[in-house]
Amino acid sequence: MGGFDLPAFAGFPALASHPWAYPALEVAHIAGIALLVGNLVLLEARVWGMAAELPVRPLARLSLRLALAGFAVVAATGLAMFSAQPADLLANDAFVVKMGLVALAGLNAAWFHARDGLARLDRLARAQTVLSLGLWLLVIICGRWIAYR
């Protein structure tokens, strides 16, 4: 189970009693990541000038709704997996770094929208999209390292 002992699941009995429950959560978590990051990449490509014939605001409404849905799936499944072994995860450097990176990604997104980066599509908006993608890729890397730390 990703490097964790089954007795660590005692905090969430359903995960311990069903051998497929934790892997199913992991699959849903990965699907949520794909929905989140995939839609951010779509919008970020538009900020960089790709598909310029597509109006940025309607595209943003669609892609950000889907990205938020992906984040909701990631948050729900992540919380369930965390509740199964909170002490182990809080002691795991990769998990702690991952959570910090998620917070930074959220702050970057808030800053992007607070300065109306979609209206500006300027150099800073493009830099923020590069930072966004980089942060989310690091989140994914740290997520994979959790099992090996």
Domain ranges of the chain: 11-148
* 79-85 own/partner pairs: CB under 8 Å, 24+ apart: 80/12, 80/15, 80/25, 81/22, 81/25, 81/26, 81/29, 83/11, 83/12, 84/8, 84/9, 84/11, 84/12, 84/15, 84/22, 85/4, 85/8, 85/9, 85/11
Report CA-CA distances (Å) from 53 to 21, 40, 57, 58. Answer: 44, 18, 12, 12
Question: pLDDT tens across 72-86, in order?
Answer: 999 999 999 999 889
pLDDT at 144 over 70: yes
Q: So what's the pLDDT on residue 17?
A: 74
Mean pLDDT confidence for 2-16: 55
Query: What are the helix (H) ranges across the chain?
Result: 13-17, 21-47, 56-84, 86-90, 93-114, 117-120, 123-145
pLDDT band for 6, please (50, 70, 90 cuts): very low
Question: pLDDT tens across 52-69, in order?
Answer: 999 999 999 999 999 999
Question: pLDDT tens across 83-137, in order?
Answer: 988 999 999 999 999 999 999 999 999 999 999 999 999 999 999 999 999 999 9
Q: So what's the pLDDT on residue 14?
A: 67
